[in-house]
């Protein structure tokens, strides 16, 4: 039966496979192969022994051979190569075309007079066929016989003679084919918008096929990687219209199946070559393309995962492919609706769920090990990351299709979306299993604290580092099912001490911790403060990026306003460098002093910004009379920035205001910041401890240089401090450190220990300090009375708050 004539747009297509072998036939990528393509004939039935030219310009795409039988109306007879065949070392076959299909009556005389013998050379290989046919035979009949002999579809063939393509309807005589003529058989060049991409892919697959046949190809890994690099180089980086078509060619050419076939090789060098090449692809699809195109790469990586899963256990290459797929899905967004339609069609939720199930099994086993053994490494971070990556699109797909909360007692027959029924049921089982394992792990943590002591932070081991991330994902799943949220938070309330320890140790600045901020009943002050502080950017120590200020003490509020209120918020995130005019002192101690002084000025009733509450002098509200100043709103914004900066730099101040938004890492977190804290939490964070300064705690956190603890001067010093009033101790502490209000933890909450240095000054001199280093210096006073006299001077409010070196 004759094939239909080819369309000009190359509309004839065939399913693609790699080799005629069961090992590869199982690889069906399920991709739509209706793409323009080109073919090279050495990929078909003729198995020539000679090696082909690697530089052949035609494009190889592996096609499954057509099953054929030698029972057509024109039997084929193989004969010896004609002595007049072109002189070459290439092997040849002969096709004997007997009666013509042209309808011309056959007679011995006619056959004798019109009988031709000529040569057809496969240009990509150089292999030659010797052909005998009648001059009246059509070119199309010649194509048919070549198909029977080689398995090459008629639509894929072109015959070239004297530089011209022979047309199907012509006879051999019309084409002026003479005896012993030489014809060239080449592949039909399909119409395609991306011929260079096809060429690169087909060059790579030809090389892989040679390796799979056992050939030794020099620098094979390098050459395959070069093909992959070139593929990504010619793929548009940010063109969402044409770039997907380039990436589809990778699938349509069966490149994933070819690389996996090479990975299955028993030859170690081939396996290593495939491993390196696949990993190179995984890296390139993330680094060489924009994030907008990551979703287009996802079906390719999914295909790698499916093929590898069939032939290997969960080895490192499979795990890398799975992780990369998770990253690509995250880049594409949490909703599959954001994907291109052709991409969404290729990634179904059943595929995604298979990865969720695998990773949940891994996590469950690792959590068991974490409970059973104190030396267990616990859940692997890559498994947790991948579990999160695959869970997001799965959860989003369920939310798009199903009304929540889902009753766990539903009957499948009443379920509106049967394709997701099994997944929803099994995901609930995963939730219950992992929550049960996590509760056991949290109990194990509490037992560890009880055994080792109360300093929980010192005993956290690496096996616990992923617990918080797993709990966050379980919280997300719990929102899908009826009663699951209450079940989840009940577990955390019962294991509050373990959860708080995890928060303080493992909650990071870049994490989304809002799921914890909403539930203050499962946290304590320390953990809530940690979560709140993680909303601020990290203070940078890079002196090239500091926001510098030079302030006149006599114009403290006005000049501070100009430096802070007019600054770009990003510049304030970089850190602060502070100097007072006509003073030598600089450094963190001076910065702490500035915070203290400017906050005093902001809340000074004389400046008409805030009015203290009559019932609690720590509480302030905006002064209704502030509107007389046209800049009053800007000053309120300034006040908010200053207070937020004070928190960011961990400086305790006496008062509090609104306006944190500009200083937080994300201004959208402003409401979350305040809602996550109790009023007392803010008091403690900003005001610090209200308890009198404990001298024993002070002494325990002080070290000596030049003095020893039992020296008379040190003994006198602590005896004098014990006799001071609470306010005098605050002034002394401020003189020493520029810290007037201790953190809630006391001295252990400061950034450094305190130091007392022996100075070489005469004993008539007053003590001095280096507030940046928490260093107090005084000479060897001859008596306790003289030391007390000097200390009384520096504990005067007007002296202690304006005296010190740096």
| The residue count for the chain | 806
**Mean pLDDT in the chain?**
76
Write the pLDDT tens digit of every residue in 712-767.
Answer: 999 999 999 999 998 899 899 989 988 877 877 788 878 789 999 999 999 889 99
Residues 169 and 225 grouped into a single domain: no
Write the pLDDT tens digit of every residue in 117-128.
Answer: 999 887 555 578
pLDDT at 618: 61
Listed in sequence order, the residues at least 6 apart from 443 whose beta carbon sits closer than 8 Å to its beta carbon are 495, 498
Residues 481 and 571 grouped into a single domain: no
CA 727 and chain centroid, separation: 53
Catalytic residue among 209, 296, 599, 772: 772
pLDDT at 172: 92
Residues 369 and 342 grouped into a single domain: no
Residues 168 and 216 grouped into a single domain: no
List the CATH number of the domain containing 287.
1.25.10
pLDDT at 399: 84
CA 526 and chain centroid, separation: 30
Write the pLDDT tens digit of every residue in 396-433.
Answer: 888 887 888 888 765 454 555 445 778 888 999 999 99
pLDDT at 239: 62
Tell me the CB-side half-sphere exposure of residue 629, using CA atoms within 13 A: 14
Quote the tokens at residue 110. 């006619």
- Residue 127 counted as domain residue: yes
pLDDT at residue 574 above 80?
A: no
Residues 51 and 131 grouped into a single domain: yes
Residues 156 and 54 grouped into a single domain: yes
Q: CA torsion, points 666, 399, 485, 406, in degrees to nearest 10?
A: 170
pLDDT band at 677 (very low <50, low <70, confident <90, very high): low
Residues 727 and 657 grouped into a single domain: no
CB atoms within 10 A of CB 440: 16
Among 312, 347, 382, the domain-final residue is 347
Rounded to whole angstroms, what are the CA distances from 447 to 129, 425, 452, 497?
83, 34, 9, 11
Spatial distance between the Cα atoms of 276 and 454, rounded to a whole number of angstroms: 49
CA 677 and chain centroid, separation: 31
pLDDT at 387: 96
Q: What angle do CA 208, 213, 217 make, to 5 degrees?
A: 55
Among 187, 204, 237, the domain-final residue is 187
Q: Give the torsion sign (CA, 388, 392, 398, 403).
A: positive
Residue predicted with more confidence, 645 or 258: 258
Residues 276 and 137 grouped into a single domain: no
pLDDT at residue 13 above 50?
A: no
- Residue 516 counted as domain residue: no
CB 740 within 8 A of CB 652: yes
Residue predicted with more confidence, 702 or 59: 702
Listed in sequence order, the residues at least 6 apart from 264 whose beta carbon sits closer than 8 Å to its beta carbon are 23, 271, 311
pLDDT band at 70 (very low <50, low <70, confident <90, very high): very low
pLDDT at residue 630 above 80?
A: no
- Residue 724 counted as domain residue: yes
pLDDT band at 312 (very low <50, low <70, confident <90, very high): confident
List the CATH number of the domain containing 159.
3.10.20.90
List the CATH number of the domain containing 740.
3.30.2410.10
pLDDT at 771: 82
Spatial distance between the Cα atoms of 506 and 467, rounded to a whole number of angstroms: 9
Spatial distance between the Cα atoms of 635 and 623, rounded to a whole number of angstroms: 12
Closest among 467, 420, 472 to 448, alpha carbons compared: 467
- Residue 204 counted as domain residue: yes
Mean per-residue pLDDT for 323-345?
A: 67
pLDDT at residue 683 above 50?
A: yes
pLDDT at 685: 57
Query: Is residue 772 annotated as a catalytic residue, yes or no?
Result: yes
pLDDT at 270: 95
Tell me the CB-side half-sphere exposure of residue 311, using CA atoms within 13 A: 23
CB 495 within 8 A of CB 439: yes
Of the spans 96-105, 187-196, 672-681, which averages the highest pLDDT?
Answer: 187-196
Spatial distance between the Cα atoms of 792 and 314, rounded to a whole number of angstroms: 74
pLDDT at residue 22 above 50?
A: no
CB 620 within 8 A of CB 613: yes
Alpha helices (H) in 264-293, listed in sequence order? 268-287
- Residue 435 counted as domain residue: yes
pLDDT band at 787 (very low <50, low <70, confident <90, very high): very high
pLDDT band at 681 (very low <50, low <70, confident <90, very high): low
Number of structural domains (the chain) is 5
Spatial distance between the Cα atoms of 360 and 308, rounded to a whole number of angstroms: 20
CA 562 and chain centroid, separation: 41
Among 663, 684, 703, the domain-final residue is 663
Spatial distance between the Cα atoms of 28 and 260, rounded to a whole number of angstroms: 12
List the CATH number of the domain containing 645.
3.90.1750.10
pLDDT band at 609 (very low <50, low <70, confident <90, very high): confident
Residue predicted with more confidence, 358 or 449: 358
Residue predicted with more confidence, 422 or 63: 422
pLDDT at 346: 58
pLDDT at residue 330 above 50?
A: yes
Residues 375 and 449 grouped into a single domain: yes
Residues 441 and 410 grouped into a single domain: yes
> Which segment of 319-323, 360-364, 740-744, 774-778 scores lowest on mean pLDDT?
740-744
- Residues 56-84: b if buried by 16+ CB within 10 A, e if exposed: bebbbbbbbeeeeeeeeebebeeeebbee
- Residue 542 counted as domain residue: no
pLDDT band at 690 (very low <50, low <70, confident <90, very high): low
pLDDT band at 47 (very low <50, low <70, confident <90, very high): very low
pLDDT at 544: 63
Residues 555 and 658 grouped into a single domain: yes
pLDDT at 326: 92
pLDDT at residue 77 above 90?
A: no
Strands (E), 561-624: 576-580, 610-612, 620-622
pLDDT at residue 356 above 90?
A: yes
Closest among 294, 213, 307 to 254, alpha carbons compared: 307
pLDDT band at 28 (very low <50, low <70, confident <90, very high): very low
Domain that holds residue 235: 195-347
CB 381 within 8 A of CB 336: no
Residues 370 and 443 grouped into a single domain: yes
Spatial distance between the Cα atoms of 471 and 519, rounded to a whole number of angstroms: 14
- Residue 444 counted as domain residue: yes
The kind and range of the H/E element at 371 are helix 349-372
pLDDT at residue 2 above 60?
A: no
Residue predicted with more confidence, 729 or 193: 729
Quote the tokens at residue 352. 């995604």
- Residue 625 counted as domain residue: yes
pLDDT at residue 640 above 90?
A: no
């Amino acid at each position: 039966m004759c094939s239909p004539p080819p369309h000009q747009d190359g509309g004839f297509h065939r399913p693609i496979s790699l080799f005629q072998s069961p090992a590869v036939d199982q690889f069906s990528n399920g991709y739509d192969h209706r793409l323009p393509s080109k073919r090279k004939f050495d990929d078909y039935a003729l198995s020539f022994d000679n090696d082909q030219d690697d530089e052949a310009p035609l494009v190889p795409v592996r096609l499954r051979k057509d099953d054929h039988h030698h029972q057509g109306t024109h039997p084929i007879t193989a004969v010896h190569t004609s002595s007049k065949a072109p002189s070459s070392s290439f092997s040849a076959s002969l096709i004997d075309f007997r009666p013509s299909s042209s309808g011309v009556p056959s007679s011995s005389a006619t056959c004798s007079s019109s009988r031709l013998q000529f040569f057809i050379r496969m240009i990509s290989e150089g292999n030659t066929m010797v052909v005998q046919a009648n001059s009246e035979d059509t070119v199309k009949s010649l194509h048919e016989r070549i198909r029977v002999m080689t398995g090459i579809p008629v639509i894929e063939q072109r015959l070239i003679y004297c530089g011209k393509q022979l047309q199907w309807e012509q006879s051999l005589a019309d084409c002026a084919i003479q005896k012993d003529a030489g014809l060239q058989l080449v592949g039909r060049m399909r119409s395609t918008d991306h011929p260079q991409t096809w060429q690169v892919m087909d060059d790579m697959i030809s090389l892989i096929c040679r390796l799979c046949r056992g050939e030794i190809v020099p620098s094979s890994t390098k050459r395959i990687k070069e093909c992959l690099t070139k593929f990504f180089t010619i793929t548009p980086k940010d063109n969402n219209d044409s770039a997907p078509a380039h990436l589809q060619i990778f699938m349509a050419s069966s490149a994933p199946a070819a690389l996996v076939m090479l990975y299955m090789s028993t030859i170690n060098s081939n396996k290593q070559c495939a491993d390196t090449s696949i990993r190179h692809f995984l890296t390139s699809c993330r680094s060489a393309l924009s994030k907008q195109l990551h979703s287009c790469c996802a079906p390719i990586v999914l295909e790698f995962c499916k093929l590898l899963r069939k032939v290997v256990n969960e080895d490192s290459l499979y795990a890398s492919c799975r992780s990369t797929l998770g990253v690509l899905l995250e880049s594409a967004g949490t909703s599959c609706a954001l994907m291109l339609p052709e991409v969404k069609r290729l990634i179904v939720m059943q595929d995604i769920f298979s990865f969720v199930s695998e990773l949940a099994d891994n996590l469950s086993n690792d959590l068991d090990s974490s409970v059973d053994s104190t030396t267990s490494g616990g859940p692997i971070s890559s498994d947790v990351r991948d579990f999160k990556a695959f869970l997001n699109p799965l959860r989003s797909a369920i939310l798009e299709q199903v009304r929540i909360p889902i009753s766990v007692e539903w009957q499948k027959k009443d379920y509106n979306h049967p394709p997701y029924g099994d997944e929803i049921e099994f995901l609930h089982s995963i939730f219950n299993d992992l929550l049960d394992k996590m509760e056991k792990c949290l109990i194990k943590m509490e037992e560890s604290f009880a055994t080792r002591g109360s300093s929980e932070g010192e005993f956290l081991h690496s096996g616990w580092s992923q617990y918080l991330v797993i709990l966050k994902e379980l919280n997300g799943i719990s929102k899908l099912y009826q009663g699951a949220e209450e079940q989840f938070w009940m577990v955390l309330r019962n294991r509050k001490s373990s959860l708080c320890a995890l928060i303080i140790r493992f909650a990071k600045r870049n994490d989304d911790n809002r799921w914890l901020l909403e539930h203050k009943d499962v946290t304590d002050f320390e953990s809530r403060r940690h979560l709140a502080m993680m909303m601020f950017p990290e203070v940078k120590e890079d002196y090239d990026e500091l926001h510098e200020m030079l302030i006149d003490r006599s114009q403290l509020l006005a000049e501070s306003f100009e430096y802070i209120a007019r600054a770009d918020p990003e510049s304030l995130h970089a850190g602060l460098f502070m100097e007072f005019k006509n003073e030598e002192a600089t450094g963190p101690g001076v910065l702490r002093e500035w915070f203290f002084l400017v906050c005093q000025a902001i809340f000074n009733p004389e400046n008409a910004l805030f009015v203290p509450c009559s019932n609690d002098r720590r509480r302030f509200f905006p002064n209704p009379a502030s509107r007389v100043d046209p800049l009053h709103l800007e000053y309120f914004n300034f006040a908010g920035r200053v207070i937020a900066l004070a928190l960011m730099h961990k400086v305790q101040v006496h008062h509090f205001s609104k306006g944190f938004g500009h200083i937080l890492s994300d201004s959208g977190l402003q409401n979350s910041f305040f809602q996550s804290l109790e009023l007392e939490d803010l008091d403690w964070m900003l005001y610090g401890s209200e308890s009198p300064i404990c001298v024993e705690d002070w002494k325990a956190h002080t070290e000596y240089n030049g003095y020893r603890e039992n020296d008379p001067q040190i003994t006198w010093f602590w005896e004098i401090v014990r006799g001071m009033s609470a306010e005098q101790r605050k002034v002394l502490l401020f003189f020493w450190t520029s810290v007037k209000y201790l953190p809630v933890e006391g001295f252990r909450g400061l950034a450094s220990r305190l130091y007392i240095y022996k100075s070489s000054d005469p004993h008539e001199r007053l003590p001095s300090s280096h507030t940046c280093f928490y260093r107090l210096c005084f000479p060897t006073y001859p008596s306790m009375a003289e030391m007390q006299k000097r200390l009384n001077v520096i504990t005067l409010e007007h002296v202690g708050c304006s005296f010190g070196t740096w």
